[in-house]
Structure 1
Amino acid sequence: MSHAATFLGETTTRLERIAALAEGGGLDPAIALLADSIAAGGIVHVFGTGHSEAFAMEVAGRAGGLIPTNKIALRDLVLRGGEDRSLLGSSLLERDPQIAEKLWALVPAQPKDVIVIASNSGVNGSIVGFALQAKEHGYPVIAVTSLEHTAAVEPKHPSGKRLSEIADVVIDNLAPYGDSTMEVAGNGCGAVSSLTAAFIAQLLTIGTIEKLAEGGEPPVYISANVPGGHERNQKLEDVYGDRLIRGS
């Protein structure tokens, strides 16, 4: 079997399991939190570090996605928080539990908002710290993580907690320990967490749009690259004013 066929199998079997989970209502608790928040005028704030930032990009600020969404990133500490850009030079930043409070202070969270956090390992200091900040301030947390990986590693936050132990709703991205689904020339490769997380992000978005449509017109982006798209999107964004973060 070719490498392409092997990786296709590793990917599609996981996507099929996630689709079956959705069909069986397994994503409904998360969708209900998201839809209820948006229907009440709330905003969905999505945080991920490293490759998990791709999950946040799938949810926030893209065509076919929900307008009341914000992508939270570590670089916000520099772009909006006044920290020196040298802060971003460390590969250990996402493991630093001390920055969570500073990052949380930049989130324009208001009552009825929801926090979504994606992390494959679910143990790094910034991720766990951010989740704890959200809970401390009274916000529901949805987590997308690898339950296999997180159970196999030690938490890096002083609390000793994992993201999966803090969140109100936990969605397993089905990535294996180490995120490698195959081995080539003695090297683990074929990382799958970004693919499964993107699929989960889209299923959550689709489910939320469907639920919101029961009560009216959902606030959904269309492509800014179609005639009138930018103007239409801008009009809907204006409803939320400066509560939306764009450009980071």
Structure 2
Amino acid sequence: MLYSYLDEVAKRIEKIRTTQIENVKKAAELIAGSLEKEDSVFHVFGCGHSHIAAEELFYRAGGLACVNPILPVELMLHEGALKSSHYERKEDVISLIFDRYDMREGECLIIVSHSGRNGAPVEAAYEAKRRGLKVVAVTSREYKGRTSSRHSSGKFLEDVADVVIDNCGNYGDASLKIEKEGFNTSFAPLSTVLNTVILNMLVAEVVSIMLQRRIVPPVFMSGNVDGAEEHNLKLVERYRKRVKHL
């Protein structure tokens, strides 16, 4: 089955390459345009396993220093998986969570949600817009039409975002199935792999756009190569007041 999983990943990544490039470019233009001020950042948010996307972009070798990850413990797994699932469906937690972060008008928020149906990520899009931010959604379009929204508006994340990137993942996330007596559960999820590919495509395109505009991209070096410490500390000092988790 390991080859079957690799085949599924490759197939979905190829679908991203053939169907989502224009959406990635639109999102990258939006983000790059929001980073023209010296201390500007962009923000990344996800619930449950989707929060891994925020961590992937944060303080990353070869990644941008101007990333502010939204990492509320209520919506992460390490202090209670069941609790995170409970709060993921709630709308009223979002404004309180956003109040903990320095999110400014004109900046961008990336929201990652595979299903795009739960209250928290949909409300995050609405709340970001109320605060004057632009919203980029990374989500699967397989859910709308097959299930219902859990937000009071009846909307999915893709209905609210300014730019939507389809991660080309499947309904239910798990990609493989073996029919055996007593076992009929699909397994081997795809969304984390696909989301990570898309987010790093975005970073690559943002860096390229910034260079075209004669802006030096604030990119971290790996801490395990010589000369990195001084380089990275300068970036940390530059963004320390804007990026909460530095």
Indicate whether the TM-score tops 0.5. Answer: yes
How many angstroms does 1:75 deviate by? Answer: 1.3
Aligned to 2:48: 50
Aligned to 1:113: 107
Aligned to 1:81: none
**1:35 partner letter:** A
Match of 2:155 among 152, 155, 161: 161
How many angstroms does 1:230 deviate by? Answer: 2.7
How many angstroms does 1:46 deviate by? Answer: 0.2
**1:227 partner letter:** D
CA distance in 2, matches of 1:242, 1:195: 31
**1:122 partner letter:** G
For residue 47 of structure 1, give the secondary structure of its aligned residue in structure 2.
strand
Question: Structure 1 residue 100 and structure 2 residue 94: aligned?
Answer: yes
Aligned to 1:137: 131
CA distance in 2, matches of 1:110, 1:90: 26
CA distance in 2, matches of 1:30, 1:125: 23
Match of 1:34 among 25, 31, 35: 31
Deviations 1:30-49 (A, max 9, x none): 01011111123421100011
Q: CA RMSD in A?
A: 2.2
For residue 199 of structure 1, give the secondary structure of its aligned residue in structure 2.
helix
Aligned counterparts, 1:66-215, within 5 A: 66-75=64-73, 89=83, 91-184=85-178, 185=180, 186-214=184-212, 215=214
CA distance in 1, matches of 2:31, 2:95: 24
CA distance 1:246–1:90, change in 2 (3 Å) = closer
**2:18 partner letter:** A
CA distance in 1, matches of 2:134, 2:48: 23
CA distance in 2, matches of 1:8, 1:125: 32
**1:237 partner letter:** V
Assess if the C-alpha contact under 8 Å between 1:77 and 1:102 holds in 2. no
CA distance 1:136–1:244, change in 2 (3 Å) = same
The unaligned stretches of length 5 or more in structure 2 are none
CA distance in 2, matches of 1:201, 1:60: 11
CA distance 1:15–1:69, change in 2 (3 Å) = same
How many angstroms does 1:8 deviate by? Answer: 1.2
Aligned to 1:82: none
CA distance in 2, matches of 1:113, 1:236: 19
The unaligned stretches of length 5 or more in structure 1 are 79-84
Deviations 1:140-169 (A, max 9, x none): 000000101244221111121111100000
**1:29 partner letter:** K
How many angstroms does 1:90 deviate by? Answer: 5.3
CA distance in 1, matches of 2:23, 2:75: 35
Q: Number of residues paired by the alignment?
A: 238
**2:226 partner letter:** P
CA distance 1:5–1:241, change in 2 (3 Å) = closer
